Amino acid sequence: MFGPSLYILYTAQLSHIIAKHELSLHLYEDGWQVYISKTVDDSSAAVDQLPTCLVDVETSLKASRLYLNPAKTQVMWLRSQQLLARLDMAAVPVLSSSVRVHQTARDLGVVIDSRLSLSDHVATVCQSS
């Protein structure tokens, strides 16, 4: 990993690019997450917005000899079960590949499910006890 000074330089550039595309960014020590908040009716706009942003991010990273790995990219819809039933997208284009939509993801040790119920997290914690 980079030293703190280099990491700040690289991630500062990312935050400007992502903000230009009207997306939200969370930075972590070893990665980052991009968030889009849209209504179900605007979900196709979100699917169009993300790849455009990631192309700009990839261009910026390549200039710094860094690589955006689509294999480590996860996409997840966060909605109520009724609203999730209205979405008909199993995959989202990311750069030159297609990333399938996940039902769960681990974020800072917490298993988040697409319904925001925490039932998968509770089950994971109970299994590990």
| pLDDT tens digit sequence for 57-85 | 999 888 888 888 888 888 888 877 777 77
Write down the pTM of the prediction.
0.75
**Distance (Å, whole) CA 47 – CA 50:** 6
| pLDDT tens digit sequence for 14-37 | 889 999 999 999 887 777 888 888
Half-sphere exposure of 128 (CA within 13 A, CB side): 8
Q: Domain extents for the chain?
A: 4-128
Can you read off the two tokens belonging to residue 122? 């509770």
Q: If 0-12 CB within 10 Å is exposed, 13-18 middle and 19+ buried, where does residue 52 land?
A: exposed
Name the CA dihedral angle for 18, 21, 26, 30, rounded to a multiple of 10 degrees: -40
